[in-house]
């Protein structure tokens, strides 16, 4: 297998045109390759500057999970810190987790940040939403978002071999935060994302004087389909986040 390490977007685009298979830390594909055969040409983004940025409002796809620290929002840092073992986090990448993993442990955190994705295709670079990243699995270069006012994350414990543990992430944003124009951009908004099994549910609401009204607004979104056990985690997390608003 020949591994290409492009140092510019144009080089990465050429690699794609040549049929190179994108790899992150290869933590998810190595066993498959050993079983089914290695590709003739692969490509890693670990030398591409645009894919290695770490900041308060941007994160590169080639960043290792173990590199995520206080420079990124706490919801992302904590999500990365719960993935696998230390050895896995020293090899696995942001892009590999979001695009290549069935669990997508970073997805709830990215959703509550209302992150947008920059992706590379054979005809150039463009920006898209996370729904397309999950559905079509393009070559992810980076994520960007507006820094939240506050955020929270919780991953319940689970036994080995058991179904994926429940994950609840939330973030408080300036403006309505709901993504649908309600509230005219005034006040605050809260976004919540929950991974229940292999499915991820999300919802957003404008916050009001009564926290219970905000919870009811969230129940009117896709989050309302969650079981009571999930809401037992969502409710206190959202209430705590709203308390920071005041």
**What tens digit of pLDDT does each residue of 157-206 get?**
988 778 899 999 999 999 765 544 443 445 689 999 999 999 999 999 99
Output the pTM of the full model.
0.90
Q: How many CA atoms lie within 13 A of 155 on its CB side?
A: 23
Phi, psi at 34, each rounded to 5°: -65, -35
Max CA pair span of the chain? 60
Residue showing tokens 């206080």: 70
Delineate the domains of the chain, giving CATH numbers in brackets. 2-35+52-144 (3.30.465.10), 150-245 (no CATH)
**Distance between CA 97 and CA 88 in Å, rounded?**
11
pLDDT at 122: 83
What does the pLDDT look like over 197-227, one tens digit per residue?
A: 999 999 999 998 899 999 999 999 999 999 9
Count CB atoms within 10 A of the CB of residue 32: 11
User: Confidence band (pLDDT; 50, 70, 90) for 75?
Assistant: very high
Q: What is the mean pLDDT of residues 91-105?
A: 88
């Amino acid at each position: 297998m020949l591994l290409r390490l492009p140092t510019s977007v144009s080089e990465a685009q050429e690699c794609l045109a040549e049929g190179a298979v994108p790899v992150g830390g290869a933590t998810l594909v190595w066993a498959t390759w050993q079983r089914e055969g290695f590709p003739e040409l692969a490509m890693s983004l670990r030398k591409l500057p645009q894919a290695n940025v770490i900041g308060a409002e941007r994160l590169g796809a080639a960043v290792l999970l173990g590199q995520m620290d206080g420079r990124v929002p706490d919801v992302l840092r904590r999500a990365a810190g719960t993935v696998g073992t230390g050895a896995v986090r020293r090899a696995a990448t942001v892009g590999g987790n979001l695009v290549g993993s069935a669990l997508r442990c970073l997805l709830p955190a990215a959703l509550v940040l209302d992150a947008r994705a920059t992706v590379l295709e054979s005809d150039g670079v463009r920006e898209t939403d996370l729904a397309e990243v999950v559905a079509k699995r393009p070559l992810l270069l980076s994520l960007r978002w507006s820094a939240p006012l506050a955020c929270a994350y919780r991953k319940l414990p689970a036994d080995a071999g058991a179904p994926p543990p429940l994950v609840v992430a939330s973030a408080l944003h300036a403006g309505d935060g709901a993504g649908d124009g309600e509230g005219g951009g005034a006040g605050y908004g809260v976004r919540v994302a929950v991974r229940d099994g292999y499915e991820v549910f999300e919802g957003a609401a404008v916050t009001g004087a009564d926290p219970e009204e905000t919870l009811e607004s969230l129940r009117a979104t896709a989050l309302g389909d969650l079981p009571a056990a999930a809401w037992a985690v969502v409710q206190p997390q959202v209430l705590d986040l709203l308390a920071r608003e005041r």
